[in-house]
Structure 1
Amino acid sequence: MYFLENTILPPGEKLKRLRVYLDATQQDTSNGKISRNLISYIEQGKTKLTKDTAEIIVENLKRLAQERNISVDFTAEYLMQSETEQAEGILRKSVKRLHEIFDADIEKFEAELNKAKEILNTWDITEKKAEIYEIAGDYYAKGYHHNESYIHYLISLENYIRIHDNLNVAKLYSKLGKSAYDSQNYKEVINLHNHALLIMKTCNIEDPGIMKRVLFNNALAYKQLKDYEKSLDCLEELKKRFPDLSVGQQVDVLTLKGNCYYEQGNYEAAKAKYKEIFDIIDKENNDQVGKMLALVNLGRVYHKYGQTEKAIDCINDSIMIGLKANSIYCCDVYIELGDIYTDICKYDLAENAYIKALYNAKSTKMKGWEARSYRKLLDTYIIRDREIYIEQLIQEINIAYKENPKIMGDDELKEIYLKAARYYIDKNADQAKDLLDLVLANPK
């Protein structure tokens, strides 16, 4: 490690600190080969340090260090580095370090990130700023911190635009699109992805990874917007452009196609797509999560056909696979099971499924799933007129929301309060009033 390697200083100040550390005078540093006054001017910043002068200084100081048995490492090139060059070197190490601790806890990651940000606040090194903020966006996206992810991606995008790095501009638009999808801003997803497509077309950029991500995420967004035909069109274009999709990608495409057909009421087409997934998985690999999702989706189709027992068997098989694979999707599957039991009025079993969904949602910390589980439980308790359970559930929700407001949006919280208030309106006017006061206390 170089002397003062992680400290940014003008060359003259760096020389002065090195000289003082070695307990050397300016005359010692010059050693008669250059004037003492030149050393003084360099340290005061009045004269630029040249390569020849730096080499003489380093030769003299290394000799002094050896004579005094002081271990220190430095070179003429290091001594001559400008402050910007030093900052860039530190930021290169920050990039490497951020990659190394990408799977670490958030406190450790943010400590390193904040060090880099402090340097970037002083030294506007655009390329490194773009790279570091992109890594941070990836980290926050991984941890489901969607707002933080979006903000960091946006700053990264701005800096890639400044250096005309069109490939990374297109990539960042696609990442912003995924972040917008996670935040349920589906129209923005499509707008951002269309920017990515326009840049790729205008700049003749061929990048299969970006193109696949854009087409598939657009299909997801159109599906959420209930424009199932456009979603299916995106999937067809994806399949046409990339006939060599991996098994996992084929499973994702077939699942989304099946879901679109299901929402359109075309249950036979949906069932065919879900069954096609089993054929691919059995032949090509052992994608347990893909099999899990195919089973739960197939269960939904059987339920629509009135084959309830068959549907429950499929979903229970899906849960078994999900638990073994420690899948984040177990919450969704438990909710599907609870919905089926609710439809056939088996409320005890429905409540049990929703409680398991809530437990799973808390452990995975997936945005929205905890709120969804709470709503399902509330609906079940209201149907069964279980007043004491409703009161306890509202208390639990209040505590959970105070501890972590990110578990649900304000609208979701209001919906829960209003449902409970409506239940209490004829039973306990004071309780209903308290719940309505909570709604009014959160006007956003």
Structure 2
Amino acid sequence: MDFTIITQGQRVRDIRKKLNLKQEDLSGDIITRNLISMIETDKASLTPKAAEVIHNNLKRFIKERKIEIDVNIDEIFITEEDQAKRIYEDFLKYIDDVGVEAEELLGEMISIINKYELNYMKVYIYGDLGRAFGLKHEVNSAANYYLMANEFAKMCNVDSEYYGKLKGALTHFLSRLGKYEDGIRECNNLSNEIPYELTKGIIYNKIIMLKKIGKYNEALKEIDGFENEFIYREKELDSYDLQINIQIIKGNCYREQGYLNKALRVYRETLDEIKDNEECFKNKMLVLSNIMEVSTMLEDDFDEYLNKLVEEIGKNKVKFEKNYFASEIYKWMANSYEHKKEKNNMQLAYEYTLKSLKIAKRHRNMDIIDYDINKLIEYIPYVKECTIEVVQKHILSLVQTRMIKSDSKVILRLINFHMVNNNQKEAKNIIDFCKSQVS
């Protein structure tokens, strides 16, 4: 990336010297030789009118003296702001090409933007960097860039479609980080100018976050409005996937409110509506896992659904494990095995928890990571290969990669495990390790 900006005065001087002209050759009419000197040394700005006079004089001398040097005299009209805009466009292309590595040159780009007061550019640069970090599953960085883009978008006249995309991405990543209250605030008071399809995605994110913070009645109320606005009126359109997701969330809200039979009915009705094709694979997996979870809570027979889930995953395991939701499904499969009355139930629960943790780490799904790690500690007395050493290795690795905080409850739980088992030395080692990660 080249961030060089040449002043119009420098261009006038460079072109004049290439043509072997003197400063007085460019003077005349409203321009004196002294003014030419001041322009070339950037002590005076080149006004449009002065640029026109100089341009005409250059054309005249080229014609009169039959100069054949390849020089584009039109370049004297290129302003510093024009160059800043070109550099900005090149930088956006650069982000597309190299992704997150573009962050290394961000400081130089921002310096140019600040110098020429072109703040609207920050909206698109921060937004594109947010997208780049999102593709790398670097959720914190993605959220921070989208947040900055959103703040500058409020101050600038930004294209409503791009603004809607920013809002959708920002609320998604705030949800991923567990910053649900912040995300919900961003979903409120949406501009009517945001396109319909983008508004739909933002409201969908709001419903998810309301459910996450336990505001189930509010979430169900939003779902009613969402279905009326975006689903029932679109029956002839392709809203099928969204309809299934909303039904799952509705069932989840009923489940959390304790209406287990009502939730189970919603899930089963949803499963019956799901088309049996590859495109609906994700939906089927989610619904089956929810049926299995609620059946476990009701102490109903869930073997049929668990076996179906294992069978469906086995058909396309690679595709399944690429999905963000796969960690949650594995989590509930582990939970179901844990409640089965079979000899190897805890072993299977342990294995599926490890699968869940692996995928959750890849997607930096903090809620699942915290759940899985705590489960591993619980499995220590029941699973031979689930030793404290194995679990500790997982935990400290997560601390090292900043997916678990050094002062989190699971760390305290790990330290307490060693203290209860009279292993003060190892407890101190963990404390020292955690201190080293924050120093």
What is the CA distance between 1:62 and its match in structure 2? 7.7
Given the alignment of the two structures, is residue 267 of structure 1 paired with residue 252 of structure 2, yes or no? no
Contact 2:3 2:109 in 1 (8 A): no
* Residue identity in the other structure for 1:208: Y
**1:55 match:** 55
- State the alpha-carbon separation in 1 of the partners of residues 58 and 354 from structure 2: 70
Alpha-carbon shift at residue 236 of structure 1 (Å)? 0.9
Report what 1:191 is aligned to. 185
1:389 aligned partner: 387
Kindly tell me: are residues 239 and 430 of structure 1, through their superposed partners in 2, closer, same or farther at Cα, counting changes over 3 Å? Answer: same
CA RMSD of the aligned region, Å? 3.8
- Equivalent in the alignment of 1:146: 139
Q: How big is the shift at 1:128?
A: 1.5
2:247 corresponds in structure 1 to: 254
Alignment of 1:224-235 (within 5 A): 224-235=212-223
Aligned to 2:109: 116
- The two structures have a TM-score, normalised by structure 2, of 0.80
Instruction: Give matches, 1:349-368, under 5 Å.
Output: 349-368=348-367
Cα distance in 1 between the residues matched to 2:273 and 2:176? 28
Would you say 1:79 and 2:76 are equivalent positions?
Answer: yes
For 1:41-91, what per-residue CA distance to the aligned partner results, in whole angstroms no more than 9, with x for missing partners?
4312336253433433664798899835x5x6x452x42232223212321
Counterparts in 2 of 1:376 and 1:10: CA distance versus 1, 3 Å? same
- Give 5+ residue unaligned stretches, structure 2: none
Report the Cα distance in structure 2 between the residues aligned to 1:436 and 1:323, rounded to whole angstroms. 36
Distance in 1 (CA, whole Å) between partners of 2:214 and 2:118 is 44
2:414 to 410, 420, 430: 420
Residue 67 (structure 1) aligns with: 68
1:338 aligns with 2:326: no
Among 200, 225, 229, which residue is 1:241 paired with? 229
Higher relative contact order (CA 8 A, sep 6+): 2
Letter in 1 for 2:91: S
The letter of the residue matching 1:91 is Y
Residue 395 of structure 1: CA displacement? 3.4
Report whether the alignment pairs 1:348 with 2:347: yes
What is the CA-CA distance between 1:184 and the residue it aligns to? 0.7
The alignment covers a number of residue pairs equal to 421
Counterparts of 1:428 and 1:401 in 2: how far apart (Å)? 24
Indicate if the aligned counterparts of 1:296 and 1:318 stay in contact, CA closer than 8 A. no
**Per-residue deviation, 1:302:** 2.9
Aligned-pair CA distance for 1:169 = 6.1
Give the Cα–Cα distance (whole angstroms) in 2 for the partners of residues 145 and 392 of structure 1. Answer: 26
Query: Normalised by the size of structure 1, how large is the TM-score?
Result: 0.80
Contact 2:120 2:157 in 1 (8 A): no
Letter in 2 for 1:161: K
| Paired residue type of 2:127 | E
CA displacement 1:398-420 (0-9 Å, x = unmatched):
24422x11x22345xx3223223
- CA deviation vs aligned residue, 1:239-281 (integer Å, no higher than 9, x gap): 1112216222112211211211222233333233334444444
Q: Which runs of 5+ in 1 are unaligned?
A: none
Inter-partner Cα distance in structure 2 for 1:399 and 1:263 = 32
